[in-house]
């Protein structure tokens, strides 16, 4: 999936924005999504 790295970067940006706004629960959800996508990306490469 070619767009996967871009999706991961977008989620990371959103995660950092939530953390900056002290929305740690939302940031943690995004962190978990990033981890899942990274595993998927590594499995496909």
Q: What is the pTM of this model?
A: 0.85
Which tens digit of pLDDT belongs to each residue from 1-45? 678 999 999 999 999 999 999 999 999 999 999 999 999 988 887
| Structure confidence at residue 2 (pLDDT) | 77
Give the chain's end-to-end CA distance (angstroms, integer). 9
Question: pLDDT at position 1, please?
Answer: 60
**Are the C-beta atoms of residues 4 and 41 closer than 8 Å to each other?**
yes
Per-residue pLDDT at 11: 98
Q: How far apart are CA 45 and CA 6, in angstroms?
A: 15
Sequence-ordered list of residues with C-beta below 8 angstroms from that of 41, at least 6 positions apart, any chain: 1, 4, 5, 8
CB count, 10 Å around CB of 15?
20
């Amino acid at each position: 999936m070619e767009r996967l790295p871009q999706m991961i970067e977008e989620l990371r940006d959103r995660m950092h924005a939530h953390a900056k706004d002290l929305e740690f629960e939302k940031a943690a959800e995004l962190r978990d999504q990033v981890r899942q996508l990274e595993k998927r990306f590594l499995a496909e490469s």
